[in-house]
């Protein structure tokens, strides 16, 4: 007797009863009643995928999952990317970057200031991130919010003069653009080794990208990683980027996520930029991040 096919196994997985509730603001939805510790069949996965494309950020509530379960679910969306700061990868699970302000034995256990400037994850790579999943492990009693800005709406509402100025242009992105700048109290970043620097060479992407799945255009620049508009004098580039940044993060385009215990937040880096609002350095915060590789922007 032959073994069942993968599709046959997936088809035999029982569906889960869950609800997708859009948020009232600019973007985002929460998913209630889904347990990612259990197998997710193809039909349920397709529903989650559609919600992610439609709402750009989805919040899976009360996910009591292991690191391996987070990795396995993330991998269903594509290849996982390994962060350059290998000293902050979870032991035994290099697909997970520890995002944390916790100091143990005089050493940071994770990247404490991830997201201190608006950015799209890994836009400094030839193949930037499709999306990121962040799973809450320890949350502070105050602060620690994450803000998301819709870059489709930023493009749709861009004044004509700015549209004309950026259409057809490209911008350079660099991981080290603002790497050493301090913004929040108590943050620290390790000095990059020559090997690490070699992994984060400057790349060039379109200022306006087309989402490969929904076909919509979005601005693809951010204060965190974009260094210049290619082909413009430095002062013009700086001024144009400043106007694009200010336009992108208007309040009506932003969702502010206030973390709840065991939240798993999955956002689309092709549609959004995000920002960590920070928290008092004496309050412990720890989250696990997986990052899914996307396509070259076009």
> Residue 6, class by beta-carbon neighbours within 10 Å (0-12 exposed, 13-18 middle, 19+ buried)?
exposed
Does the annotation mark 257 as catalytic? no
Is residue 249 helix, strand or coil? Answer: coil
**Catalytic residue (one of 52, 55, 56, 121):** 121
User: At a CB cut-off of 8 Å and minimum separation 6, what does 152 contact?
Assistant: 56, 211, 216, 217, 218, 271
**Catalytic residue (one of 55, 135, 205, 274):** 274
In this structure, are residues 124 and 228 in contact, taking their beta carbons and an 8 Å threshold?
A: no
Does the annotation mark 289 as catalytic? yes
Does the annotation mark 119 as catalytic? yes
Beta bridge partners of 89: 97
User: At a CB cut-off of 8 Å and minimum separation 6, what does 292 contact?
Assistant: 74, 75, 77, 78, 79, 80, 81, 129, 130, 131, 132, 133
**Catalytic residue (one of 119, 211, 228, 285):** 119
**Per-residue tokens: 243:** 């106007």
Phi-psi region of 122 (alpha: psi -120 to 50; beta: other; left: phi over 0): left
Residues acting as catalytic residues = 119, 121, 274, 289
């Amino acid at each position: 007797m032959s073994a069942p096919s993968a599709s046959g196994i997936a088809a035999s997985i029982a569906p889960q009863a869950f609800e997708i509730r859009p948020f009232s603001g600019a973007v985002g939805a929460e998913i209630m009643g889904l347990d990612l510790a259990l197998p997710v069949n193809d039909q349920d996965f397709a529903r989650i995928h559609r919600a992610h494309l439609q709402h750009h950020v989805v919040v899976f509530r009360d996910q009591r999952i292991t690191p391996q379960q987070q990795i396995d679910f993330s991998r269903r969306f594509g290849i996982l990317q390994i962060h350059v700061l290998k000293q902050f990868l979870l032991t035994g699970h290099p697909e997970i970057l520890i995002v944390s302000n916790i100091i143990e034995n005089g050493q940071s256990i994770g990247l404490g200031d991830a997201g201190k400037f608006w950015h799209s994850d890994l836009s400094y790579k030839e193949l930037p991130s499709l999306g990121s999943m962040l799973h809450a492990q320890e949350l502070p009693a105050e602060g620690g919010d994450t803000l998301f800005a819709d870059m489709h709406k930023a493009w749709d509402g861009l004044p004509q003069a700015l549209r004309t100025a950026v259409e057809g242009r490209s911008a350079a992105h660099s991981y080290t653009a603002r790497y050493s700048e301090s913004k929040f109290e108590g943050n620290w970043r390790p000095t990059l080794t020559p090997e690490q620097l070699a992994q984060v060479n400057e790349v060039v992407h379109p200022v306006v990208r087309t989402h490969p799945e929904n076909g919509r255009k979005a601005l693809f620049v951010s204060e965190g990683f974009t260094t210049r508009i290619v082909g413009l004098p430095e002062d013009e580039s700086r001024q144009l980027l400043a106007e694009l940044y200010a336009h992108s993060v208007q309040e009506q385009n932003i969702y502010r996520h206030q973390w709840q215990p065991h939240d798993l937040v999955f956002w689309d880096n092709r549609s959004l930029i995000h920002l960590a609002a920070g928290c008092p350095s004496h309050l412990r915060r720890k989250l696990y991040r997986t990052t899914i590789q996307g396509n070259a922007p076009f």
